[in-house]
Each structure stands twice: as structure tokens, then as C-alpha cells.
Amino acid sequence: MNPWEIAARVCRPMSTEEARRLTQQECGSKEYGDTDPLLEAEIQEMLARIRVAERAERERAGKS
């Protein structure tokens, strides 16, 4: 799954915290599921790759 597909699945017009709060208010705290563990793992992997790329970019900019 590429980063754009992941972003399309997780991006919403409100923050996750706000969405969870609203869902809890409407449905109660036990009537909604948490984030899919597979999706969460993919997100964490993507974030790790982004951090590595950002670090490499900073190092490359520092050497120029």
C-alpha cells in the first residue's frame, strides 16, 4: 500500500481526537472500534521512513 492510499484511508476533515470524542458522545465509549492494527503498523512504518528521509535531507543540506 502506498502512502497516498494510506492517507486517503486515514485523512478526515477533523482530527482523530475530535472524531473519537464526538463518536463517544453519540455512541458511548464501547460502541466503536479502535484503529485497525494493520493500518496502525503501516502508518508507523511510513512515519519511520519519513523520519529517515528527513534526517538524510538535513544531513545532505548540512554538507552542501
1-17 confidence digits (pLDDT tens): 677 677 777 765 667 77
**Lookup result for grid cell 479502535:** 34
pLDDT on residue 22: 78
Chain-centroid distance of CA 13 in Å reads: 14
pLDDT on residue 29: 56
pLDDT on residue 9: 73
Helix ranges (H only) for the chain are 3-10, 16-27, 37-63
Domain boundaries, the chain: 3-63
pLDDT on residue 64: 62
Residue among 17, 1, 20 nearest 9 (CA) = 1
6-63 confidence digits (pLDDT tens): 777 776 566 777 877 877 777 665 554 566 778 878 888 999 999 999 999 999 988 7
